[in-house]
Amino acid sequence: MIKEPMRVYLDNNSTTPCDPRVVDTMVPYFYQKPGNSASRNHPFGWEAEEGVDYAREQIAALLKVDPKEIIFTSGATESDNLAIKGVFEMYKSKGNHIITVTTEHKAVLDTCDKLTEAGAEITYLKVAEDGLIDLAELEAAIKSTTILVSVMWANNETGVIQPMKEIGDICEKHGVLFMSDATQAVGKIPTYPKEIGVHLMAWTSHKMYGPKGVGALYVSRKSPRVKVTAQMDGGGHERGMRSGTLNVPGIVGFGKAAEIARLEMHSDAERLNKLRNRLEHELTSRLEECYINGNVDHRMPHVTNISFKHVEGEGLMMTFNQNIAVSSGSACTSASLEPSYVLVALGLGDDLAHSSIRFSLGRFTTEEEVDFAVEKLVAGVNHMRDLSPIWEMYKEGVDLSNVQWSEH
C-alpha cells in the first residue's frame, strides 16, 4: 500500500474545513427538507423557515444579540459592501465622511474607494509597526461630516486585534456609527457588539468551520436603530435589507457552527494558543533572522506571521507545498511584484514583506502536524538560504543597503 504523503493545513485564515457536525445538520436540508423559507403556505416552507429561525438564534446567542439583528448574506465581502454602501446611502444627508484603516481587507478598502465616486470622503488611518491604530489619531479624524468608522476586529494576515472597546467609546462619544469586519474574529474570540459599541458587524461562515457562500451582517436595532439601504432589488427578504432566496442548508450549517463555537471557543483558543506558541518558538529558536510581524500581545491565538530574512516567500513555500499549506505575503506572481500591503503598512521593508509566511492553525490542527511543519519549514528555509545570494552577502557582512541593485 502506498502511504499518502502527510498533508498539513495551516491556512485556516483563508478558509476552515467544515466541521463534520455542521455537515450532518445541513444534509437533510438538501433533499428531505427542500423548501424555500419564504414559502408561507405549506409545510415545506415552514420547515425551512424553522431551520433558518433556529440558526438565527444560534448565531445571535454567539454574539449576545437579538436574532432580528442578523441579516444573512453570501459572505463577508457582501456584508462589508452592504454595511458600508448601505450606511453611506442611508445617511449621506448627514455627512459623507468615512474613516477606515490602511490594513483593512480589500472588501472594505475597495468598497470605500468606490464610494468616493459617489461623493464620499475617506480617511485611511495608518497603523503603527505593531499593526495597531492610534486612538488619538482616530479621534482627531472625526469631524462633523463623519458618519461611519470601519475598523476590522482582527487582521487576516497578522491576527492583530484592534482596541475595539476604546474605538467603540470614541464613536459613541462623537455619535458616529461603528462598523467592524469581524471575519477573522467571530467564533474564535468573544465578539459581543453590544458590549463593545459596534453597530454593524460583517463576517462569514466559512472561517468558523461552517460552509462557504453564507455570511451575515449584524445591524443594531436598538440604541441606535441602524438601517442600511439594500444593495440588490428583489423580494425584500431579511427585513428589506437583503433580497434573495435564503441559502437554507448553508444557514442551518452556519447556525450549528455558531453553536459549536460558542461552546468550544475557549478551549479551542487555549489549545491553539499553545500550539501556535510552540510553532513560533521552534522556528525562531532553530532559525536565525526570523521576525514575528504584528503585536504579539494583541493577537489572535491561532495565527502567526513570520518573516524569514533573505528568503523569498513564494520560493520557500515551494519547498514544502506538497505537504504544508500556508500563505505568503509575497505576491511575486506578476510583473508588478507587489508584497502584501498589510505588511508594508506595518512599516516592513519590501524585502521582509516578500519573506513572510502566515501560519493559521485551526480546530483540527494537531501537535504532530505542527511538529511536522516545523521540520519542513526549517529544511525549506535552509535550502532557500543556501541558494540565496543576499543571504551569502549578509553572512559576509555586506551592507545590503549600499549595494547597487538593478531594479526592473
Partner 1 sequence: MAYSEKVLEHFQHPKNVGTLDKSKSTVGTGLVGAPECGDVMRLQIEVDPSTQTIIDAKFKTFGCGSAIASSSLATEWLKGKTIEQALTIDNMDIVEELALPPVKIHCSVLAEDAIKGAIADYQSKNGIAVTAMAAAH
Return the number of the residue (31 or 405) whose C-beta is nearest ligand FES: 405
Q: Residue 224 phi/psi, 5° resolution? A: -90, 160
Q: Applying CB under 8 A, which of residues 9, 29, 209, 391 lies at the interface with partner 1?
A: 391
Read off the C-alpha cell for 63. Answer: 454574539
Of 169, 249, 179, 265, nearest to 213 by C-alpha is 249
Which residues inside 98-127 make contact with ligand PLP, applying CB under 6 A?
A: 105, 107
Mark residues 266-305: x for contact with partner 1 by CB under 8 A, - for none.
Answer: ----------------------------------------
User: Is 315 one of the binding residues for partner 1 (CB under 8 A)?
Assistant: yes
**Catalytic annotation, residues:** 332
The stretch near partner 1 (CB under 8 A) out of 37-45, 181-189, 344-352, 371-379 is 344-352
Q: Which helix (H) or strand (E) holds 381?
A: helix 367-387
Smallest distance, ligand FES to C-beta of residue 333, A: 6
Residue 272: name the closest of 249, 300, 246, 251 by CA.
300
Buried (b) or exposed (e) across 27-54, using 16+ Cβ within 10 A? Answer: eebeeebebebeeeeeeeeebbbebbeb
- 387 near ligand FES (CB under 6 A): no
Q: Do 387 and 363 form a contact (C-beta atoms < 8 A)?
A: no
| Position 75 contacts ligand PLP (CB under 6 A) | yes
Task: Tell which one of 335, 397, 399, 402 touches partner 1 (CB under 8 A).
Answer: 335
Q: What residues numbered 322-341 form the site for ligand FES, per CB under 6 A?
A: 332-333, 337
> Residue 258 belongs to what H/E stretch?
helix 248-286
What residues have CB less than 8 Å from 337, skipping those under 6 apart? 331
What's 259-306 look like in SS3?
Answer: HHHHHHHHHHHHHHHHHHHHHHHHHHHHCCCEEECCCCCCECCCEEEE
| Cis peptide leading into residue 43 (ω within 30°) | no
The distance of closest approach from Cβ of residue 361 to partner 1 in the complex, given in angstroms and rounded to an integer, is 25
Which of ligand PLP, partner 1, ligand FES, none binds 407 (CB below 5-8 Å, type-dependent)?
Answer: partner 1
Helix 313-320 / helix 367-387 crossing angle, nearest 10 deg = 120
**402 grid coordinates:** 549600499
State which of positions 126-155 bind ligand FES (CB under 6 A). Answer: none
Stretch that binds ligand PLP, among 50-58, 73-81, 91-99, 324-332 (CB under 6 A): 73-81
CA–CA separation, 178 and 398 (whole Å)? 49
Query: Could you say which residues in the range 28-57 bind ligand FES, by CB under 6 A?
Result: none
Q: Check binding of 334 to partner 1 (CB under 8 A).
A: yes
> Do residues 155 and 294 touch, judged by C-beta distance below 8 A?
yes
Question: How far is 129 from 347, CA to CA, in rounded Å?
Answer: 6
Select the binding partner of residue 399 from partner 1, ligand PLP, ligand FES, none (C-beta < 5 to 8 A, by kind): none
The nearest distance, CB 122 to ligand PLP, in angstroms, is 17
Q: Is 362 in the site for partner 1 (CB under 8 A)?
A: no
Q: Does 379 engage in binding with partner 1 (CB under 8 A)?
A: no
Cell of 310: 533573505
349, interface contact from partner 1, ligand PLP, ligand FES, none, CB < 5-8 Å by kind: partner 1
> Residue 407 CB, nearest distance to ligand FES (Å)?
13
Inter-helix orientation angle 106-116/76-91, to 10°:
30
Q: What is the per-residue binding string for ligand PLP in 140-179, x denoting contact by CB under 6 A?
A: ------------x---x-----------------------
User: Of 19, 69, 181, 238, which one interacts with ligand PLP (CB under 6 A)?
Assistant: 181
Q: Pick left, alpha or beta for residue 312 (phi over 0 → left; psi -120 to 50 → alpha; otherwise beta).
A: beta
Which residues of the shown chain bind ligand PLP in the complex (CB under 6 A)?
75-77, 105, 107, 152, 156, 181, 183-184, 204, 206, 215
Which residues of the shown chain bind ligand FES in the complex (CB under 6 A)?
332-333, 337
Which residues of the shown chain bind partner 1 in the complex (CB under 8 A)?
310-312, 314-315, 318-319, 330, 332-335, 337, 339, 349-351, 354, 384, 386-392, 400, 403, 405-408
